[in-house]
Amino acid sequence: MTISELEAVIEAILFASGDIVNIKSIAFATGEKEKTIKSVIENMADRLDERKSGVQIIQIEDGYQMCSRSEYFEFLKKIFKAPKRKVLSSTLLETLAIIAYKQPITRSQIEEIRGVSAEHSLNKLLEYNLIKEAGRLEGLGKPILFETTTEFLRYFGFSSIDALPENVADIESIKKEAEMEVESLRSV
Amino acid sequence: MKVELEVKLEKFEGPMDLLYSLIVKNKIDIYDIPIAEITEQYLEYINYMNKYNMENLSEFLVMAANLIEIKSRMLLPKEVNEENEEIDPRDDLVKKIIEYKIFKGIALDFNKIQQESGFSYYREAEKDVVKKVKESVPKEISEILKDADANMLFDAFKEVLKRKEIKVEKIKKDFEPIKPDVFTVESKIKYLKSIIKKGEKISFFYFFEKDSSKNEIVTTFLAMLELIKENLIYIEQGENFSDIIITRA
């Protein structure tokens, strides 16, 4: 099919679906290659952004979803119920940050880093569907492993885990950075 | 570098929180921590906590012991590792502090995002989708119960109780009464859900295999009824009085 036909079909699919549509589904429905679909959607999304359209297309991992542009929230909330905007406390954010960068991770590993009990945070984050249980770790006690969910990605606007701000959670790299700084100061 | 009063008035979440705060307030170089001073200030705070009966004191004590140990190791000649390099007793602590610092930073970034990001509406919030699906798919009682009916279910349940009673009676004669366990319908629902995967079929009697007391059996049965109500499982019976088959919806 032509590009504009493909665009139209994708538009219809994303509209009809309530939820994220996997690119594979779109490929199946249209018979087009994923690579083609990807670039077409990105093009569509850019054009929507350019004219600040009421609708935007976001990417979540291997899928796409249409949603309203946040700029127009104040108008929408007059008609539609404004969902309870949960604001995460710093404790929850810290726990979430650890899970996001170190997933999959167990509760005691999280507690090792934070120095406090993670039970309450984990329960809350599970309740908010920002993390999920993801199997168990082999070994003593077979503790539960935690990972982030697609809801987590959507909440912070990340298209995927790889899109998280540069992974500075690598201690070795931080140390090397610091050492380099010290060296450069010495040589000056 | 005495700890100022402002530190004493703060309530710290945990030992890492306190330790990191001391490091920041004293503008200490993480890579060259003056262990003796930090330990002294840390212990001062612990005493203060103890005096005013603040909670979570025990969590802080482990770190206190750790600091004291590191301090004493610093006084001894440095140990040497396989490559003949000196081991700094502070290394592990430094790693921990840096990692803590990193995640605190990331959490701040996350906070910035959540504060600044606007809100988008999605065409159908998750809850609405589930509701719509439920409403659109007709669930006739006969469809769910598939040739079975409430009476049959009840009969089967009575059978389970009878079987268990025989078992329990036999055991009862040999043991002292034990304090009753508390079973909740919620936990049984979770358990049942985990046992039976989508599309799988399981025998009705299998559900009660592990149950030991009447209390538990009743709770399991209630959980099962709840799952039927939620359209999460279907039940059917082969012939009269034969086992009932449960399928995950």
Q: Which of B249, B210, B212 is nearest to B233 (CA)?
A: B249
Shared-domain flag, residues B105 and B208? no
Q: Quote the minimal CA–CA distance from A38 to chain B in Å.
A: 21
CATH no. for residue A136?
1.10.10.10
Q: Considering CB atoms only, which of B103, B117, B118 is closest to A169?
A: B103
**Mean pLDDT value of segment A128-152:** 90
Binding-face residues of A in 139-158 toward B, CB within 8 A: 155-157
**Mean pLDDT value of segment B99-125:** 81
Tokens 């950075």 correspond to what residue? A177
Question: What are B's interface residues with A at a Cβ cutoff of 8 A?
Answer: 13-17, 19, 31, 56, 59, 63, 95-96, 98-100, 102-111, 113-115, 117-126, 128-129
B95 has a pLDDT exceeding 80: yes
Q: What confidence score (pLDDT) does residue B126 get?
A: 47
Whole-angstrom Cα distance, residue B153 to residue B144?
12
- What does the CA dihedral A89, A94, A97, A99 come to, rounded to 10 degrees? -110
A125 has a pLDDT exceeding 90: yes
Shared-domain flag, residues B57 and B140? no
Do residues A95 and A110 lie in contact, with contact meaning Cβ atoms separated by under 8 Å? yes
Shared-domain flag, residues A51 and A123? no
Q: What confidence score (pLDDT) does residue A188 get?
A: 47
Q: Which of A59, A79, A99 is the last residue of a domain?
A: A79
Cis peptide before A104 (omega within 30 of 0): yes
Domain span at residue A95?
90-175
Q: Buried b / exposed e across B142-162, counting CB within 10 Å, b at 16+?
A: eebbeebeeebbeebbebbbe
Tokens 């939620």 correspond to what residue? B230
Shared-domain flag, residues A108 and A160? yes
Domain membership of residue B128 (yes or no) is no
Q: Which of B249, B203, B116 is nearest to A155 (CA)?
A: B116
Shared-domain flag, residues A64 and A125? no
Give the ranges where chain B is alpha helix by DSSP (H). Answer: 5-9, 15-25, 35-51, 57-75, 91-116, 126-136, 141-145, 150-172, 185-195, 204-207, 214-229
Under the banding of pLDDT at 50, 70 and 90, the label for residue B125 is very low
Shared-domain flag, residues B205 and B160? yes
Q: What confidence score (pLDDT) does residue A37 get?
A: 92
Contact B125 A83 (CB under 8 A): yes
Q: Which of B71, B87, B116 is the last residue of a domain?
A: B116
Domain membership of residue A84 (yes or no) is no
Domain membership of residue B125 (yes or no) is no
Shared-domain flag, residues B139 and B95? no
Shared-domain flag, residues B112 and B12? yes
Under the banding of pLDDT at 50, 70 and 90, the label for residue A94 is very high
Domain span at residue B102?
5-116
Shared-domain flag, residues A73 and A98? no
Q: Quote the minimal CA–CA distance from A117 to chain B in Å.
A: 9
Domain membership of residue B130 (yes or no) is no
Domain membership of residue A181 (yes or no) is no
Q: What confidence score (pLDDT) does residue B207 get?
A: 67
Question: For chains A and B, what is the number of CB pairs under 8 angstroms?
Answer: 117
* More confident call, B52 vs A164: A164
Contact B103 A115 (CB under 8 A): no
CATH no. for residue B172?
1.10.10.580
A95 has a pLDDT exceeding 90: yes
Number of domains in chain A: 2
Shared-domain flag, residues B141 and B189? yes
Shared-domain flag, residues A119 and A156? yes
**B81-95, B127-141, B192-206: range with highest mean pLDDT:** B81-95
Q: What confidence score (pLDDT) does residue A9 get?
A: 92
A75 has a pLDDT exceeding 80: yes
Instruction: Report ipTM (2 d.p.).
Output: 0.74
Q: Which residues of A touch B120 (CB under 8 A)?
A: 56, 58, 67-70, 73
Shared-domain flag, residues B143 and B109? no
Number of domains in chain B: 2
**Mean pLDDT value of segment B21-34:** 86
Contact A85 B119 (CB under 8 A): yes
* More confident call, B174 vs B102: B102
**Mean pLDDT value of segment A118-126:** 92
Shared-domain flag, residues A10 and A74? yes
Q: Which of B59, B86, B116 is the last residue of a domain?
A: B116
Whole-angstrom Cα distance, residue B96 to residue B27?
18
Domain membership of residue B167 (yes or no) is yes
Q: Considering CB atoms only, which of B14, B118, B122 is closest to A18?
A: B122
Among B22, B58, B121, B129, most A C-beta atoms within 10 A, so best to mutate, is: B121
Q: What confidence score (pLDDT) does residue B129 get?
A: 46
Contact A101 B119 (CB under 8 A): no
Give the ranges where chain A is alpha helix by DSSP (H). Answer: 3-16, 23-30, 34-50, 73-79, 90-102, 107-114, 119-127, 150-156, 171-187
Sheet holding A55-60, edge to edge: A21-22, A63-68, A55-60
A39 has a pLDDT exceeding 90: yes
Shared-domain flag, residues B233 and B155? yes
Q: Considering CB atoms only, which of B16, B103, B113 is closest to A156?
A: B113
Q: What confidence score (pLDDT) does residue A80 get?
A: 79
Q: Which of A52, A79, A106 is the last residue of a domain?
A: A79
Q: Which residues of A touch B124 (CB under 8 A)?
A: 18-19
Shared-domain flag, residues A42 and A115? no
Shared-domain flag, residues B92 and B169? no
**Mean pLDDT value of segment B69-98:** 87
Q: Does A76 touch chain B (CB under 8 A)?
A: yes
Q: What is the mean pLDDT of chain A?
A: 84
Q: Residue B59, CB half-sphere, CA atoms under 13 Å: how many? A: 18
